[in-house]
Chain A
């Protein structure tokens, strides 16, 4: 067993994922015995919470939909309250392979945040067009901020170490794209070390990402605005309490 597993919390934000959530939770427990798994049911209207609970996960049910950012903040606060030092975010739709969690946790030897990156040579996940350009621009800018080569900054597959968990429990943004872009900008500017780990991702269980060029262009615009705003905002400083770990 990995030495960090017992102090690791797997957080899975889930919105109407009754078909996949039980299988993903089961897979997490199969590959990571001893880990604690928290499914944050983000106001689902189907049987997501029941399915996750039956599969053995702890389930936090949000009364109203808060988005991925709000759901993750619940996860970070739960981790802090219950003494977990490491938080790994895993999607509940099965696109993240739980076996890669070990690679992410290993990377935390040298980093506060380990990003599971799709374009780093593993797997067969392809994104094209303006959405791809947006990802490249974001990756370049955030790499520059974090002084580390990052190629997939919109990845939702990431592990946070003790410093990052304390930072995020207080400052995880709930804005649009805050869970991906702004959270990294906040962490980089607070002095957290961000590294990426190549992981393979599977095609999403339900449907494919949209390739509507208008939507992709809107995404480019909003992502750019989110990045700009994150940079304009005052820097978050890790307090003494948060910085000692």
Chain B
């Protein structure tokens, strides 16, 4: 490995971390969604700065080519992120449903109130006014 690919690896990891942290800072990303991205960024940074750690981990796990370990871990992290997104989507759908139901029921209550009040207390609508 030459020096430029070494630097490239570190820069890419730093870029990931910087983007995630900046998004957190600007409230564009919530903490619970950022956990896996931060984890991935830190792993990439460690593997970028100490390539020997990657080779060591591959040897320990019996993976012949260290690069296959990178692909494997990356796949696992992407899978987990994807799964988390699906689960969040499910809970968001449930919340939307609750809100829509609430809105419909409130609409019914408002209509009932309107009917009740127009029958008794409110003065009749001026026909000239409604004609315009």
Footprint of B on A, CB under 8 Å? 63-64, 175-176, 222, 225-226, 229, 232-234
Contacts and interface: CB of A to CB of B under 8 A. Distances in A.
A229 B99 contact: no
Nearest to B22: A232
Interface in B18-32: 21, 24-27, 30-32
Interface in B60-118: 95, 98-99, 102
A203 B31 CA distance: 31
A175 B25 contact: no
A229 B102 CA distance: 35
A234 B102 CA distance: 36
Contacts of B32: 176
B108 to A, nearest CB: 15
Nearest to B92: A64
A64 B98 contact: yes
Interface residues of B, number: 12
B29 to A, nearest CB: 10
A19 B99 CA distance: 27
Contacts of A234: 25-26
A232 B21 contact: yes
Given A63-B99, A226-B31, A229-B24, 18 more contacts: A63-B98, A64-B95, A64-B98, A64-B99, A175-B30, A176-B31, A176-B32, A222-B31, A225-B31, A229-B31, A232-B21, A232-B24, A232-B25, A233-B25, A233-B26, A233-B27, A234-B25, A234-B26
13 contacts: A63-B98, A63-B102, A64-B98, A64-B99, A175-B30, A222-B31, A226-B31, A229-B31, A232-B24, A232-B25, A233-B25, A233-B26, A234-B25
B98 A229 contact: no
A222 B95 CA distance: 25
Interface string B6-37: 00000000000000010011110011100000
Closest 9 interchain pairs by CB? A63-B102, A64-B95, A232-B25, A63-B98, A64-B98, A233-B25, A63-B99, A175-B31, A229-B24
A225 B39 CA distance: 13
Nearest to A234: B25
Interface in B116-130: none
A63 B103 CA distance: 10
A220 to B, nearest CB: 15
A63 B94 CA distance: 11
Contacts of A226: 31
A229 B23 CA distance: 11
A61 to B, nearest CB: 9
A26 B89 CA distance: 41
A64 B92 CA distance: 10
